[in-house]
Amino acid sequence: MTVGMGVMVRSFEATVQAWISASLRADLFVAPLGPGGAGSRHRIPAELADAVGADPDVAAMDRYQQVPFSFRGQLSTLATGDFAVTGSRGHLALIRGGTSPEVLGRVHRDGLADPGAVASETFARRFRLQVGDVVEIPRAGLAHRATLRGIYADYGNERGSLVLDRPVFLAWFGDARAASLALYLKPGADPAAVAARLARDRPGLQVRANGALRAQVLRIFRQTFAITYALEVIGLAVAGAGLAQALAGLALARRGDILTLRALGAGEAAVALALLGHPLPLADVVAMESIIFAIRSAAFVIPGAIGVQEGGYVLVGAALGLSPELALAVSLLKRGRELTLGLAALVVWHLVETMAKRRDRARPAAAGLEGEGQTP
């Protein structure tokens, strides 16, 4: 179960990373300060968006807006974007209907003559829609109609979204504000410098570079699934405790044999075989250990003789009447000490490095606070 959960989360994370890489292609992303969402009142006025788009370093700008609306009696999200910009410079992860440039270009060319829309996969599944279906969008007692031209993958809205081209949205609803802006810079422009300048000149806007926004999305994803990582650790701990309990039970059941073997000077292999219920004569164990030691010495170039020791036990154990499974189990039991010490060292190393990184991050902040406290 632990392995399955880990594989599922890692697979989903890889899918989200691929979706982010395909969807977030603009150089800068601008949003108003404050909480976002379809129902939020924090929006960028049209005049301010025009001023940002007129910046000398901006080559193109995609305005995104979203509002709540009722579709078939259920609350969902109606969104809009500049399909001409998204189709030529951006990317929409379409899974049905065609490629992003083809579908968005067609919707933009048709305009109000034959209004089109694209829907998120969640929206399409929720309302059982297919490409080519006609959707009715209610507005002030009227019902605007648009043909569904494409369906795209989206992991950001559980209610789903229906997206119109901006000219159609403006003609039907007249809302020229924007929830966010995607800026494509001219060749040679420095995204970090432009972002810093825009944020300084317009304090009411939050400007993030592409890399920073991707990092934030992944950080939120990992925080959301942090409980699954904890469950993985708990599962491994429970498995380890169960294994330790089983070995302890075997040791208690055969403690007389183990004490006798230790008194005779028997090593780990003899004790391991006794624990597994397949004891061998002491002379056979000594012979097997001698051959294994010789094999490990010959394979000194391989770190820890990983694989060599296991193969040696399987080959030599077969000559002494041990099954491959039993011989491999003896080898793994002998590696228990190495694994215990090695894992403990790795954990300590990880903690030391983490604390060092935290100290390094804290130094610039502390230096900044000291600098602010000094008077020139």
For residue range 118-158, list pLDDT tens digits in order: 999 999 999 999 999 999 998 767 889 999 999 998 877 78
Distance separating alpha carbons of residues 47 and 116, to the nearest angstrom: 27
**pLDDT given at position 129:** 95
Q: Who has greater pLDDT, 296 or 359?
A: 296
Average pLDDT value for residue range 240-248: 77
Q: Could you give phi then psi for residue 67, rounded to 5 degrees?
A: -140, 150
Distance separating alpha carbons of residues 274 and 261, to the nearest angstrom: 9
Question: With bands split at pLDDT 50, 70 and 90, how would you rate the model's confidence at 363?
Answer: low
**pLDDT given at position 99:** 92
Q: Is the pLDDT of residue 369 over 60?
A: no
pLDDT digits (tens, 9 = 90+) for 352-362: 887 777 677 65
Question: With bands split at pLDDT 50, 70 and 90, how would you rate the model's confidence at 19?
Answer: low
The overall pTM is greater than 0.75: no
153 close to 191: Cβ distance less than 8 angstroms? no
Average pLDDT value for residue range 84-101: 90
Distance separating alpha carbons of residues 77 and 68, to the nearest angstrom: 5
Alpha helices in the chain (DSSP H): 2-23, 46-53, 83-88, 100-110, 121-127, 166-173, 191-201, 210-224, 226-253, 255-263, 268-275, 282-298, 308-319, 324-334, 336-373
Return the H-helix or E-strand segment holding 265: none
Please choose, from the candidates 163, 156, 152, the residue with its C-alpha nearest in 3D space to the C-alpha of residue 217: 156
**pLDDT given at position 347:** 80
Q: Who has greater pLDDT, 2 or 179?
A: 179
Structure tokens at 230: 């904890």
Average pLDDT value for residue range 41-53: 90
77 close to 38: Cβ distance less than 8 angstroms? yes
